[in-house]
Structure 1
Amino acid sequence: MYRILISESINALSEAIKSLGWEIPDEIKVEEPPNPELGDVASSVSFQLAKELKRSPMEITQEILKALKIPDIFSKVESKGPYINFYANYNEFSSLVLNSITEDYGKLESNNTKIILEHTSANPNGPLHIGHIRNSIIGDSLARVLKSAGYEVETQYYVNDMGRQIAMIVWGLLNLDYNMDPFGKPDHEIGKLYFNVNEKLRANPEIKDEVSALLKRYERGDDPELEKMFEGVVKNCLEGISTTSKRLNVNHDAFIWESRFIKNGSVANILKSLDEYIQKNEVVYMDLNSYGIEKELILIRSDGTSLYATRDLAYHKEKSEGSDRYIDILGSDHKLAIDQLKVPLELLGAKAPETIFYEFITLPEGSMSTRRGVFISVDELMNEAVSRAMIEIEKRRTDLGESERLKIAEIVGIGAIRYYIARLSPEKHIVFKWDEALSFERGCASIQYAHARACKLLENANYDRNSLKIDNFDLDDKIEIELVKLMSKFSAAIEESARINRVHNIAQYSLDLAGGFNKFYKALPVIDSEKEDLRLLIVDKFRITIRNSLELIGIEAPESM
């Protein structure tokens, strides 16, 4: 709703400029001034007109003010130097804002655009670890934001079932005296076997040839028993990964198996389409030097098998054909691979993906590796987060039973992880620190607590929206005004997040909104105050807005903490 101040000011300025016989700029610049004493929105349109009119911005401003008809939503318009500053009529503005906030606040109109968003896509050779978690949280949160912004979004997980890692696990099943625990979580059991095979391979490098032979047989597709083993390994691992993802509030609409692009002939068709651009010696490749890329793109190995890049090319072509836009969430080490793929995609007449590259998460003691078995799994991370949250909940809520405390600890612990990742732009490197992620004084827990506090206040007041009688929506306290203005900016924050394909601004918005409510809660009486009904309405609308903003980054808002 804050957009209404901007749109109304632009309309008023356009009409004034038109009445003066001047040409209206393509885009009249209006923004929120840095100091609220300078108004709620301000325009620098006089600077835009100065060059064309060959007059000073100050003179132009005075002419516009004489011709300007002030919309009802503003109480006054003043000039601050050459700037034109609009001050909201807070009775009118607050009425519009508070009455517009319904339970689905933030859900924007459909724009009839389909987006395929691929995220996570970790190799199914072990459990998700915190090196993967940033991909999952960025991808899932962005999908939520884009859906709220009116896009049709399909989230996909690209399953690498033809990679050497899977062949190594199958080799282990065939050659090692190793029994996976049938009661263990399947992705963890597969990860243990993968680690064991790596140890064997380190001791005996000749095993590499046997693994390559298995991979070649699988790609040929003429060995049903071997195919069954590969698929069994991948399905079991995905089962464990899906369980982890569900607990983390991460969802995928579709799992796209890499092998399908061999089986359905897509890879063969692509090679045929690119025939005039490819070269052959021991391998089949594309020389990309003429496209400004020094490293060639290898498509077929010397043994006749395809590479990950070949199948990935077929996958990207399918995504391009099945969407209006498609987005890849990738680690920063994939930049060259994407640049390489863009060349053949263009030659094939396909769209290039929009990409979000993120920097990696490390532990204070260093980097992680599934192959070396040095990592913290996401399951361990969530267990630790919930355990630490439980300690805090037990201190604060001795009145609750064990099951209720555990329920709250789960919401707070998972929320802390998601917020810690979502709050930073993907370009920034993260060193995961427990004390920062799980702080109850800062970050997600403080935001969730603001929601719980609002719920408790409404409960104490026996709040019933239908029984409220509000004749005057005028806000006369700066803290009230700031909170309503913050709530009014929610839709604009969603639009901006969708425009830039980033979610950290939603995390920051949630923190700012919670901060605005905490100031309101501490400074102004609600129950039994002269403005009880209006302030209860503000509290309820805050409850909706903060809940919906947290939901965009996959975080639950508890009613009690």
Structure 2
Amino acid sequence: MYKKLENKAIESVKNTIQTLGWEEPSEIKFEIPPNPNMGDMATSVAFQLASTLKKSPVDIAQSIAGNLEVKSPFKTVETKGPYINFFFDPELFSRMVLESVQEDYGLLEEKNEKIILEHTSANPNGPLHIGHIRNAIIGDSLARTLRSAGYQVETQYYVNDMGRQIAMIVWGLQNLDYQMDPKGRGDVEIGKLYFQVNQELKAKPEIKGQIDSILKTYEKENPPELESMFKKVVRKCLDGVEDTSRRMNIVHDDFIWESQFVRDGSMEKILEALDEYTTQNEVLYLDLTDYGIEKELILTRSDGTSLYSTRDLAYHLFKSKNSDQVVDILGSDHKLAIDQLKIALGLVGGKSPDVVFYEFITLPEGSMSTRRGVFISVDELIDEATQRALAELETRRPELGEDEKNNIAKIIGVGAIRYYISRLSPEKHIVFKWDEALSFERGCASIQYAHARACKLLEKVSEFNPSKVDMDSLDFQNMDTLEIDLLKTLARFSTIIEDSARDLRVHPVAQYALEVAGAFNKFYKSVPVIGSDKELLRLLLVDKSRITIRNALDLLGIESPSSM
């Protein structure tokens, strides 16, 4: 809603500049001042005009403000030095916010633009662990935010089914006396076998040649029995990955297997298209020194088999042909690989992907490794979070039934994990700490509790129906400062979504959810609602807060319980 108000303010400033006979700047920017005494919106356009007009920014600001026609919903315009500050008319502004916040609040106008967003894409060699979770949570939350911003979004999981790690697992099935537990989860059993093969490789390095042979046979000859083994291993692991993802409220629209780009000839066409740029020595490679990259991009091994980078190039060309924008979520260790890929992709006519790089999560005791068997699986993380939440509920709400407590605990546990990851900029490294992630006193639980508070208050007045409230019957006079502050916070939601979608960042949404909950809690604790002389207006404000908190958390893949 702030964007609409900003556009009105921009229009007024433009008209005034034209009236004064000045040349209009290409862009007039507004911001929300840090102090409400400095206005509800402010512009520093006077700075932009100063060099052209050869005047003081203070004088320019005063000239604009003195000639500006104040239009609804603004009440006054003042200058503070070179800044022009716009103040809302409290009644008109309050009406606009309350009318804007409907059940689908935050869902913006549809855009005719398709985005393919790839995320998670963990190697199918074991269960998802907390080293993968940041990718999955950022990716899913960003997809939700982009959809809310009006984009058509398709989420994809790129399945690395032709990599050395899968060949290692196939070798293990062929050569080790290992029996998978038929009652165990497929991804866990595959992970155990992968660990055993790594132990064998340490003891017998010559095994590497046998694994290379399996990989070459699978890519070049693809005998049915070997193909069946590869597919079963990957499918078994992916079934577990999907189960875990669903527990985190994450579902991918499509799974794209890298082998399809070898089997359908796409990769060969890529190599042909790059032929004039490549060099063949022991390996086939693309020299990138002319592009400022010293490390060459190797496209095939000495035995002629492809590398992940080659197949990834074919996949990115596929994505660029089937979308208007390609978005990848990748660890910061992929920066060089992406720089190389973007150059190669440009040479074959593909779109350059927009990449969200994130730093890794570590445990307090150090980094994780599937190869070394040192990790906490996402399932273990969810189980632990749920148990901790349940223990807290046993203390806080002993009167709840077991089923209700268990359901609320799951919602709180998953919410705590997702929020803990979402709340920080992806460029910041995270050390995962249980007490911080699962604290009931701050973070996600406090936001969910604000929603539950709103629901509980509204339950007390069953006759209240927000859709039938007559705005003209409400008393907007002498509103409490906390009411106005809450309304201003609610009004920012659409702008947060627009900005987050544009910048491909989700942490502003997480931070905003906390702000809304904080503004609501201050209002709830200090402003009487039921029985007050403004009961209907304040009940409406409670309901609009409930909707906004719920919809903000939904963008983060977090449920909002009505009771806690």
Trace 1:108-119 onto structure 2 (pairs within 5 A): 108-119=108-119
Name 1:157's counterpart in structure 2.
Answer: 157
- Aligned partner of residue 441 in structure 2, secondary structure: coil
Superposed displacement of residue 209, structure 1: 1.1
1:326-405 to 2 correspondence within 5 Å?
A: 326-405=326-405
Q: Distance in 2 between matches of 1:3 and 1:274?
A: 46
SS of structure 2 residue aligned to 1:147: helix
2:423 corresponding residue in structure 1: 423
Distance 1:29 1:201 in 2: 61
Q: CA deviation at 1:466?
A: 4.2
The Cα of 1:50 is off from its aligned counterpart by 2.1
User: Quick check: 2:328–2:353 contact (8 Å CA) kept in 1?
Assistant: yes
Q: Which residue of 1 aligns with 2:64?
A: 64
- For 2:261 and 2:300, locate their aligned partners in 1 and report how far apart those are by CA, in whole Å: 14
Partner residue of 1:178? Answer: 178
Deviation of 1:344 (Å)? 1.2
SS at match of 1:412: helix
Q: Contact between 1:475 and 1:481, CA under 8 Å: does it hold in 2?
A: no
Q: Is the 8 A contact 2:418 2:556 kept in 1?
A: yes
Residue 343 of structure 1 deviates from its aligned partner by 1.6
Amino acid corresponding to residue 168 of structure 2 in structure 1: M
**Matching of residue 197 in structure 1 with residue 200 in structure 2:** no
2: CA distance between counterparts of 1:269 and 1:46? 56
- Out of 231-240 and 43-52, give the one that drifted further: 43-52
SS at match of 1:355: strand
Instruction: Give 1:382 deviation, angstroms.
Output: 0.5
| 2:284 aligned partner | 284
What is aligned with 1:438? 438
Distance in 2, Cα, partners of 1:506 & 1:221: 49
Judged with a 3 Å threshold, the aligned counterparts in structure 2 of structure 1 residues 475 and 371 are, in CA distance, closer, same or farther, namely: farther
SS in 1 for 2:190: helix
Tell me if 1:468 matches 2:469.
Answer: yes
1:86-235 alignment to 2 at 5 Å?
86-235=86-235
TM-score when scaled to structure 1? Answer: 0.98
The C-alpha deviation readout for 1:207-239, integer Å capped at 9, x for no partner, is 111111111111124410110010000001000
Partner Cα distance (1:474, 1:193) in 2? 70
1:416 and 1:438 in contact (8 A); partners too: yes
In structure 1, how many angstroms separate the alpha carbons of the residues matched to 2:273 and 2:450?
A: 58
How far off its partner does 1:190 sit?
0.6
Aligned to 2:317: 317
Residue identity in the other structure for 1:88? F
**Residues 297 and 467 (structure 1 numbering): CA distance in 2 closer, same or farther, change over 3 Å?**
closer
Q: 1:344, 1:255 → 2: CA distance?
A: 24
- Counterparts of 1:230-241 in structure 2, within 5 Å, are 230-241=230-241
Q: Tell me the equivalent position of 1:261.
A: 261
Ranges in structure 1 where 5+ consecutive residues have no aligned partner: none
8 Å contact kept, 1:94–1:474: no
2:562 counterpart letter in structure 1: E
- Give the counterpart letter for 1:121 in structure 2: S
Indicate yes or no: 2:31 matched with 1:31: yes
Question: Matched residues in 2 for 1:157 and 1:100: separation?
Answer: 36
Alpha-carbon distance between aligned partners in 2 of 1:61 and 1:278, rounded to the nearest angstrom: 60
1:23-69 deviation digits (Å, cap 9, x = unpaired): 22211222111210111111222222222222222332332233211
- 8 Å Cα contact 2:362-2:432 kept in structure 1: yes
Q: Which runs of 4+ in 1 moved over 6 A?
A: none
Q: Which moved more, 1:468-477 or 1:157-166?
A: 468-477
Given candidates 486, 489, 492, the residue that maps to 1:486 is: 489
Describe the SS at the equivalent of 1:104.
coil
Contact 1:483/1:520 (8 A) holds in 2? yes
The answer to whether 1:553 aligns with 2:556 is: yes
Unaligned runs of at least 5 residues, structure 2 = none
Say which SS state the counterpart of residue 42 (structure 1) adopts. Answer: strand
3-state SS in 2 of match to 1:156: strand
1:168-212 Cα offsets, whole Å, 9 max, x none, are: 111111111111111111100110111111111111111111111
1:459-483 CA-to-partner distances (Å, cap 9, x unmatched) read 0122322453533334621111110
* Matched AA of 2:514: L
Native 8 Å contact 1:127 1:188 kept in 2: yes
Please provide the CA RMSD for this pair. Answer: 1.1
Deviation by residue 1:432-468 (Cα, 9 ceiling, x = unmatched): 0000000000100000000000000000122322453
Q: What is the alpha-carbon distance in structure 2 between the residues aligned to residue 67 and residue 84 of structure 1? A: 12
Q: What whole-Å deviation, never above 9, does each CA across 1:342-397 have from its counterpart, x for those lacking one?
A: 12111111111111111100000000110110000001000000010100011111
Amino acid at match of 1:464: N
Deviates more, 1:213-222 or 1:458-467: 458-467
Return the alpha-carbon distance in structure 2 between the equivalents of residues 154 and 550 of structure 1. Answer: 21
Q: What per-residue deviation string (whole Å, max 9, x for no partner) do you get for residues 383-436 of structure 1?
A: 000010100011111110111000000000000000000000110000000000
Please name the residue that 1:532 is paired with.
Answer: 535
Matching residue's letter, 1:553: L
Moved more, 343-352 or 47-56: 47-56
Q: How big is the shift at 1:559?
A: 0.5
Q: Percent identity?
A: 65
Do the aligned residues in 2 keep the contact of 1:92 with 1:474 (CA within 8 Å)?
no
Deviation at 1:81, TM superposition (A): 2.4
The alignment partner of 1:256 has SS state of strand
Number of the residue aligned with 2:505: 502
Aligned residues: 561
SS, match of residue 526 in structure 1: coil
Alpha-carbon contact 1:94-1:475 (below 8 Å) kept: no
Report the AA paired with residue 348 of structure 2.
Answer: L
Supply the distance in 1 between the matched residues of 2:81 and 2:157 (Cα, whole angstroms).
Answer: 55
SS in 2 for 1:86: strand
